[in-house]
Amino acid sequence: MTFKGKTAIITGGARGIGFECAKKLGAGGATVVLVDVLADVLKTAAEQLAATGVQVLTYVVDVTNEESVEKMIDDVAEKLGHIDILVNNAGITRDDLLLRMETKMWDLVIAVNLKGTFLMTKHACRYMVRQKSGSIVNMASVSGLVGNPGQANYSASKAGVVGFTRTVAREYAKKNVRCNAVAPGFIKTDMTDVLPEKAKEMALAAIPMQRMGLPEDIANAVCFFASDEASYVTGHVLPVDGGMAP
């Protein structure tokens, strides 16, 4: 897959799945725009990409802040002339059982995972509609498809991403702007590394392939949706989960 001449924005791009997406898109020739709240990690990620010859821009942005999001999108469009690919990868967890879950835990997860996806899509889509082309790839989750105990907030946010993805796809298909989602299962990242061993064992037991996925597995699916090879694919949600989703 080639992305030569394309501009790709990746939120949560400083590490994990986001960074793997950035590496793969950059290797295909895209100019990569990394967006994250972690300034130090963002700087390191950009340096690593630049060392491989990837053209990269970085922005420290909170995706829940509309003013910051709009300013960043406008700046990217002004500097690079077009926005071709948006990967809405930024996401967080604040897990607990429903009766113990604090409202602030609910609000924060919904804000980052769902509102952040909305704001980034809203402002990037303005440019994609004008140029009559673009691919948006949202990060859903197997938890948003089948639910997961202790993740009422996370599952709800990711189920929301699924509905949002399908709606955006229908609204802007006529403008040649595509919107798809990848639904990762249990992927080896910093987010899952901190889980208790018992939780990891239970997760592995639920995976038919009996192993965790890797960030590269998700990046491969993201890059397919972002590529011209998927030019007739929109509104699709692809589980990449070792067989967890029914």
232 is catalytic: no
Tokens for 172, please give them.
């802007």
Of the candidates 194, 192, 238, 244, the residue with the CA atom closest to the CA atom of residue 214:
192
Q: Which position has the token pair 């590529």?
A: 227
The secondary structure of 182-209 as a DSSP string is EEE-SB-SHHHHTS-HHHHHHHHHT-TT
**Active-site residue identified among 59, 127, 154, 172:** 154
Q: Dmax of the chain from CA atoms?
A: 50
CA pair distance 24, 2, nearest whole angstrom = 10
Q: Is 69 exposed, middle or buried (0-12, 13-18, 19+ CB in 10 A)?
A: buried
- Return the beta strands (E) in the chain as ranges: 7-11, 31-36, 56-60, 85-88, 134-139, 177-184, 237-240
Give the catalytic positions in this structure. 154
